[in-house]
Amino acid sequence: MLEAVPAIADPLYLSVKLAFFTTLFIPVAALPLAWLFAFRRFAGKSLAEAFVALPMVLPPTVLGFWLLVVMGPNGFMGQAWQAVFNERLIFSFPAILLASVVYNMPFAVQPLRATFEKMDRRLLECSAVLGLSPLATFRRVILPNSLPGLAASSVLVFAHSLGEFGVILMVGGSMPGTTKVASIAIYEAVEALRYDDAFLLCLALVPASFIVLLAVNRMNRSLQ
C-alpha cells in the first residue's frame, strides 16, 4: 500500500497544479471576452460567441486532437513556442495548461458575462459622466462589482480542470511527473487492472475536489 504513494501523490499534485494555474490564468483571457460579449456590439459577435462556446459541446478528444496538431512541431502554436523558448511545446506541462485554458474558456466566460449583464447600467453611466475612461470604469466599477461572478467561474474552472481527461489524453503524452495527471493515472490503472491504485486515486481526488469546492463556495458567500 505504502510503496504506491509516489505513483498516487505525483499525479494528484499535478492535477492540483494544473487546476491552480488554469484558474490563475483564465481571467486574463476570459475577462476581456466576457466584457466584449456583455457590453459591445460588433460584426460577427454571435459567431465569436459560438466559437468561444465550442469547447462546451465538442467532444474533448476532438478538441484535443485539434490542439495536438496546432501544438505539435509543425503547428503554428508549437512553432511559435519553439521560437520563443527554444523547446518543444507538445507533451509538456505548458501544453496541458494551454489546452486546459482553451477547454475551460466557456466555463469562465459565460458566468462572467452573466454577471456583467446583471450589473446596474446606471453605475456605468455615472462612472462615464464623472469622466472615467472605459478601462478605469472596468477596473474600479465593473470588476469590484463582479467578484462573486468571478469566484463562481473560478470554482467551475478549478473543479473542471481537476478532473480533465480527454484533452490532456491527446496533448499530454502521459509523461510521469510532467503531464501524467490524476485522471490519466486512474485511466491507466484501470486499463492495467490495478484497481486498488485506481480506487486510492479516486479516494483522494473526490474529497480533494469536494473540499476545494466547499472552500471556494464559502469564499464566494463571504464576498456576497
Partner 1 sequence: MLSRLYALPARLLAPLCLPLCLTLCLLAAPAGAQDLLMAQAANFMPAMEEILPAFEAATGIKGHAVYSSTGKLYAQISNGAPFDVFLAADEARPAKLAAEGKSEAPFVYARGKVVLWLPQPGVTAADWQQCLQRDTIQRIAVANPESAPYGAAAVAALNKAGLFETVSPRLAYAQSIAQVFQFASSGAADAGFCALSSTLTEQGRTGTTFAVPQAPSVIQAACILKSAPNPQAAARFVEFLNSPLVAEIKAKYGYE
- Taking the complex as a whole, how short is the minimal distance between the CB of residue 46 and partner 1, in angstroms? 7
Residues that bind partner 1 (CB under 8 A): 46, 49-50, 53, 56-57, 65, 68-69, 71-75, 88, 90-91, 107, 110-111, 114, 152-153, 155-156, 169, 171, 173-175, 180, 187-188, 190-193
The one-letter code for the residue type at 111 is P
Q: Pick between residue 55 and residue 127 the one whose CB is nearest to partner 1.
A: 55
CB-facing half-sphere around the CA of 197: CA atoms within 13 A: 23
Q: Pick between residue 54 and residue 132 the one whose CB is nearest to partner 1.
A: 54
The one-letter code for the residue type at 213 is L
Kindly report the three-state secondary structure assignment for every residue of 78-132: HHHHHHHHCCCCCCCHHHHHHHHHHHHHHHHHHHHHHHHHHCCHHHHHHHHHCCC
Residue-level length of the chain: 224
**The three grid cell numbers given for residue 8, joined into one nine-digit string:** 498516487
Q: Pick between residue 100 and residue 179 the one whose CB is nearest to partner 1.
A: 179
Cα-atom radius of gyration of the chain, to the nearest Å? 20
